[in-house]
Amino acid sequence: DVKVTQSSRYLVKRTGEKVFLECVQDMDHENMFWYRQDPGLGLRLIYFSYDVKMKEKGDIPEGYSVSREKKERFSLILESASTNQTSMYLCASSGTNYGYTFGSGTRLTVV
């Protein structure tokens, strides 16, 4: 069964910490994405990547960066975590048929 795996389901971090969220897919997909999901706001695109070492800003990139050194792995980095980054983070990948495969999500709490 094809999978997108996010490294943590729940994470609690302190304000100012550098936070790494990891995502790995086993489908050889070119495209990978990071979203955050907040009540009433739906899914908002943070960053995406269409190839190794390539990255593009989404709608809300401020306070985040990404890394894609290998095709199967796409990391989201919170440079200095703040309380307004408390959210559910969803990673997804897609191939050429458009449909997305999502990971189970990481619920991040910044205290």
Number of chain residues interacting with other proteins (CB under 8 A):
23
8 or 101: whose CB is closer to other proteins?
101
Contact 49, 66 (CB under 8 A): yes
Dist CA 80 CA 31 (whole Å): 26
Quick check: 99 binds other proteins (CB under 8 A)? yes
According to CB under 8 A, which one of 33, 34, 47, 74 is a site residue for other proteins? 33
Dist CA 99 CA 22 (whole Å): 21
Single-letter residue type at 88: M
Q: Whole-number minimum distance, CB 98 to other proteins, in Å? A: 4
Q: Whole-number minimum distance, CB 104 to other proteins, in Å? A: 5
